[in-house]
């Protein structure tokens, strides 16, 4: 920088604000501030990265759980579809003692009956099952409870079997008559 003489006016005022010699300001606080900002930025990036990784692990676990639940739902839907098939419904109805109904009759809006109703056939009675309970064993008497006279043999326990027939009641559905059509006043 060349000097041409003293500064005048505005330049003189600005020159007084600037130091004229080498900088005497300490550089330590500035360097410390830069190091703290860089360290804070690195720690923030590290925390952000670990949070993203944790979120991706959780997302993967949730996707696996969703897949498992979808498979379970499909298996249950297959079971429902199998049980809802007409032949499966008929078989289960027969097991419950139900029979196919007769021909239906319909009521017209004016109250006339259309069709000829018929009774459903009575269900075939199921054979009565007999159940044989296990053989009853007599209670064992304590050592001193035997009152057998001396010199006689102790009585031998006898097992008796009792057969009790168990019958399953066959119920037929009660026949109800449909209510008479009512006029709602229209």
The predicted model scores a pTM of 0.36
SS (H, E, C) 68-133: HHHHHHHHHHHHHHHHHCHHHHHHHHHHCCCCCCCCCCEECCCCCEECCCCCCCCCCCCCCCEECC
Specify the pLDDT at position 20.
Answer: 64
d(CA 86, CA 77): 16
Residue 39 half-sphere exposure toward CB, CA atoms < 13 A: 6
pLDDT in tens, 22-35: 565 678 888 999 99
The rounded mean pLDDT for the chain is 75
Specify the pLDDT at position 186.
Answer: 44
pLDDT in tens, 134-179: 555 555 655 554 544 455 444 444 444 444 444 444 455 554 555 5
- The answer to whether residue 59 scores a pLDDT higher than 70 is yes
């Amino acid at each position: 920088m060349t000097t041409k003489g003293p500064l005048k006016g505005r330049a003189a005022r600005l020159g007084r604000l600037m130091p004229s010699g080498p900088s005497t300001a300490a550089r330590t606080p500035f360097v410390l501030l830069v190091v703290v900002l860089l360290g804070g930025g690195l720690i923030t990036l590290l925390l952000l990265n670990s949070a993203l990784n944790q979120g991706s692990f959780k997302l993967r676990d949730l996707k696996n759980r969703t897949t498992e639940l979808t498979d379970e739902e499909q298996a249950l839907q297959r079971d429902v579809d199998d049980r809802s098939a007409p032949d499966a419904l008929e078989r289960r109805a027969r097991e419950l003692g139900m029979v196919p109904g007769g021909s239906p009759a319909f009521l017209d809006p004016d109250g006339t009956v259309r069709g000829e109703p018929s009774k459903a056939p009575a269900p075939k009675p199921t054979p009565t099952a007999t159940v044989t309970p296990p053989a009853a064993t007599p209670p064992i008497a304590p050592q001193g409870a035997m009152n057998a006279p001396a010199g006689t043999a102790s009585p031998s326990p006898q097992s008796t079997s009792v057969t009790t027939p168990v019958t399953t009641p066959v119920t037929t559905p009660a026949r109800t008559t449909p209510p008479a059509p009512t006029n709602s006043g229209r």
